Structure 1
Amino acid sequence: MSQPTFLNRQALYLRPDPGRVIVRPFKPAIEPRDLRPEEKTRANHIVDRVLSLDAETAADQLAEVLENFEGRHRNLLATFESRADEMEEALAAHPEFTQLQRRLVGAYFLHEYSFEAAALFNPSIVPHPDQTGVSEGGLRFVLSLRAVGEGHVSSLTFRSGTIEARGNIVIDPTARLASMPKLKHPVSEDGAVEVTFKHDVELSERVVFPVTEAQSNGIEDARFVEFKDQGRSTYYATYTAYNGRGIRSELIETRDFLSFRMTPLRGSAARNKGMALFPRRIDGRYAMIARQDNENLYLIYSDDLLTWDGGQAILKPEFPWEFVQIGNCGAPIELDEGWLLLTHGVGPVRKYSIGAALLDKNDPSKVIARTREPLVRPDQSEREGYVPNVVYTCGALRHGEVIVLPYAVSDTFSNFATIRIDQLMRSLTG
């Protein structure tokens, strides 16, 4: 079936780039038997070999490493030293090190990781916290994306761009380098961690990589929203933390996209994927749309932002394109007519499409209308990829009289579409 005439697909393809790499700790495999206290690990053996090099050979080896990798990363020598600092246990069994030896040891316990080699998808979009210099009627935005690399490990990365007054979308050039933040504080009692980037690291250079055991296989599908409370904006995103065996919902918080706090969510309603926060309080309480049963959409409330229990089912599969399940596609968008909730539906042959529903502004449990047919469905030019026949988004925004909708194609790359709000409203049925 054809797409709605009011959907305007762009040609702003954001594709994965295997040339963008970060450096991660390399940990040699542990021996298949338990070591006695006096025995050395493989890490100790590697350190022994480095220390066996005379000063000139060690200097030549470090110079070769820098020549090979310097242009691919920021502050590589400092990274080597930092990695050596993390390895004090392996280094304790050895005599004192020279600075050159510590740097070389650090290099041996790092490896490059192409964090978006496999996919760059499931975007969400929010206004940029800095609108300085934007032309009248325009809007600078932050786009978050799920990046996937070797081993299907997911991380969070960003792009920036501008929506011009006439609705044209411009994506800023992507930084050549990629950088990970510094872990600012150890894990707190509530499981929260904080990470921070240096101010000179460009937005598109920042990569939030898993830092806790619960996240070890991925930070998946962040749904960002600009949350306004008492005149102040905070950017929140719910996401799925995945450790290779199980999932849990977590919340990321930032005001500047430089420092991020990540906290596990609690409660019976926080045990599934796909939670999306309303951009303001409803009757003094925080509100979310969530899918608690892998099939329907629920409205849930919280008094403290971190504990989510109960919930009321408000949307169930109704039309053929969503008979398998429905889910949310990001935070509800406030319109004069009500809350616009973008949804995804799964139909025959596990085909994912994007639709919408309109919720009452004062009581979001009341569904005013919804789309009988999808707004976006995989077309012939966008159905092939890592997971075929999927279009998906983690959040759109309103700009003037249009909805700007970034969306993923077949779990591989991302694109944009715009939708006129007046025409969208006419397509909804009660």
Structure 2
Amino acid sequence: MSQATFLNRQALYLRPDPARVIVRPFKPATEPKDFKPTDKTRANHIVDRVLALDDATVASQLADVLENFQGRHRNLLRSFETRAAEMEEALFDHAPFTKLQSQLVGAYFLNEYSFEASALFNPSIVPHPDQTLAPPGGMRFVLSLRAVGEGHVSSLTFRAGTLSKDGAVSIDPTARLAATAKLPDNFDPQVDGPVEVLFDTQDISERVLFPVTAAQSNGIEDARFVLFEDEGERTYYATYTAYDGRGIRSELIETQDFLSFRMTPLKGSAARNKGMALFPRKIDGRYAMIGRQDNENLYLIYSDDLLTWDGGKPILRPQWPWEFVQIGNCGSPIELDEGWLLFTHGVGPVRRYAIGAALLDKADPSKVIARSREPLVHPDPSQREGYVPNVVYTCGAIRHGSRIILPYAVSDTFSNFATIKIEALLGAMNPVS
């Protein structure tokens, strides 16, 4: 089986970089079995040791920490102070911290985390909110990527780039530093509701949307971003999978500027599975999603309030050998004159993932007009090895003039780009009677 002849791969690869790190809270190991509530914790012991140091030793130890780590993070001393303030609530029976003691204590309760050490994959792409630097006939874009580090914890990271008039893709240089978002005051990770976070970094590639709630604790996975338009208002939404190490659920990101983000759990029977993708506008006055509720088929689902998703109508089932195991969506549908273009993934023998496409009726997306008999993209023999071999996958493409720009991941490890002429793609799809 060959790749689609009209697929133009770009010589551009985004690979994971273990040198990109953030600081995360560190908690000492569990207390011994005979531990009593009145006993000092291991954290108390660490603080007692720091407070026993004389002022000169505290200053020299802090200077040594800064010499080792300050060049790897922005505002590191502020991070130390914030962490120490968090720890004070968990500690007891100690003298007040001086400023230097507070900073050194905070350093003991943080650790570096290489958030993309293992993988940088499953991209989605949307127009950049600021098009002032776009070339004539071109477009600026934002790319979201799933990053995976130690312990298979997934977070969300970003890149900005440019599309030329003829569809050539370029990515802005990646910032050397990275940082997580600021959380609300008195944030409680156990509260199951909307969370708003804010970044203060200038470069979008510095921003890492890391799990913050209990439901997300093991990962924010496979964000499918879309630019949603409604009565002149433009909002970026992304559906993603929240994973706590045992169970999953679908959640929704909302942003206007990629600086502040609101993350909200989705409700309803259709939100208990993964891989939901929002249409870029309402259909007949209602929100619409493509989702997979039964781990096998694709459904069309409607909602009146964006956050509650129940029911649904099956519209696509596995039909060809390369998708016999299951099918799923590969991002939000793209509106064309001919209908809604929906990229899909199929799973075939030896759990090999490939990317295909379907065309849905514009007025009634439950009607399938055409679909690809053969996959558009499948694992190339020279690029099939990786964190999860034999997989190609995307979380969203974008239209640019007469072309589709398709970022996609290879073997759950790195990301690549392809461009597709819309006319050739539609011509290669099989009509559905």
User: Structure 2 length normalisation: TM-score?
Assistant: 0.98
**SS of alignment partner, residue 100 of structure 2:** helix
CA apart distance, 1:36? 2.4
- After superposition, give the CA deviation of every residue in 1:185-233 in whole Å (9 maximum; x if it has no partner): 63697611111001x4310000000000000000000000000011111
Aligned residues: 429
Give the partner amino acid of 1:96.
P
CA apart distance, 1:38? 2.3
Give the partner amino acid of 2:101.
Q
Distance 1:80 1:425 in 2: 55
Give the partner amino acid of 2:139.
L
Give the partner amino acid of 2:199.
F
CA apart distance, 1:5? 1.0
Distance 2:36 2:77 in 1: 34
Distance 1:83 1:308 in 2: 38
Q: Which residue of 2 aligns with 1:191?
A: 193
Paired residues of 2:298 and 2:316 also in contact (CA < 8 A):
yes
Residue range with higher mean Cα deviation, 130-139 or 65-74: 130-139
CA apart distance, 1:45? 0.2
Distance 1:16 1:344 in 2: 23
Distance 2:192 2:83 in 1: 27
Distance 1:206 1:15 in 2: 17
Distance 1:107 1:56 in 2: 17
Q: Which residue of 1 aligns with 2:388?
A: 387
**SS of alignment partner, residue 424 of structure 2:** helix
CA apart distance, 1:89? 2.3
Q: Which residue of 2 aligns with 1:163?
A: 163
CA apart distance, 1:2? 1.1
Q: Which residue of 2 aligns with 1:410?
A: 411
Q: Which residue of 1 aligns with 2:47?
A: 47
Q: Which residue of 1 aligns with 2:3?
A: 3
Q: Which residue of 2 aligns with 1:252?
A: 253
Distance 2:102 2:34 in 1: 27
**SS of alignment partner, residue 105 of structure 2:** helix
Paired residues of 1:179 and 1:201 also in contact (CA < 8 A):
no
Residues 196-345 of structure 1 mapped to structure 2, 5 A cutoff:
196-198=198-200, 200-345=201-346
Give the partner amino acid of 2:271.
A
> Identity percentage over the alignment?
78
Q: Which residue of 1 aligns with 2:399?
A: 398
Q: Does 1:116 align with 2:116?
A: yes
Q: Which residue of 2 aligns with 1:97?
A: 97
User: Structure 1 length normalisation: TM-score?
Assistant: 0.98
Paired residues of 1:80 and 1:107 also in contact (CA < 8 A):
yes
Paired residues of 1:30 and 1:41 also in contact (CA < 8 A):
no
**SS of alignment partner, residue 90 of structure 1:** coil
Distance 1:402 1:389 in 2: 27
Residues 347-386 of structure 1 mapped to structure 2, 5 A cutoff:
347-386=348-387
**SS of alignment partner, residue 380 of structure 2:** coil
CA apart distance, 1:424? 0.3
Distance 1:127 1:316 in 2: 31
Distance 1:48 1:190 in 2: 35
**SS of alignment partner, residue 430 of structure 2:** coil
CA apart distance, 1:34? 5.7
Question: Aligned pair in 2 of structure 1 residues 366, 287: CA closer, same or farther (>3 Å)?
Answer: same
Give the partner amino acid of 2:365.
P
Give the partner amino acid of 1:359.
L
Q: Does 1:26 align with 2:16?
A: no
Distance 1:362 1:90 in 2: 57
CA apart distance, 1:35? 3.2
Give the partner amino acid of 2:25.
P
Distance 1:337 1:229 in 2: 21
Paired residues of 2:10 and 2:168 also in contact (CA < 8 A):
no
**SS of alignment partner, residue 309 of structure 1:** coil
**SS of alignment partner, residue 40 of structure 1:** coil
CA apart distance, 1:90? 3.4
Q: Which runs of 5+ in 1 are unaligned?
A: none
Give the partner amino acid of 1:175.
A
Distance 1:133 1:23 in 2: 32
Distance 2:71 2:165 in 1: 38
RMSD after superposition: 1.1
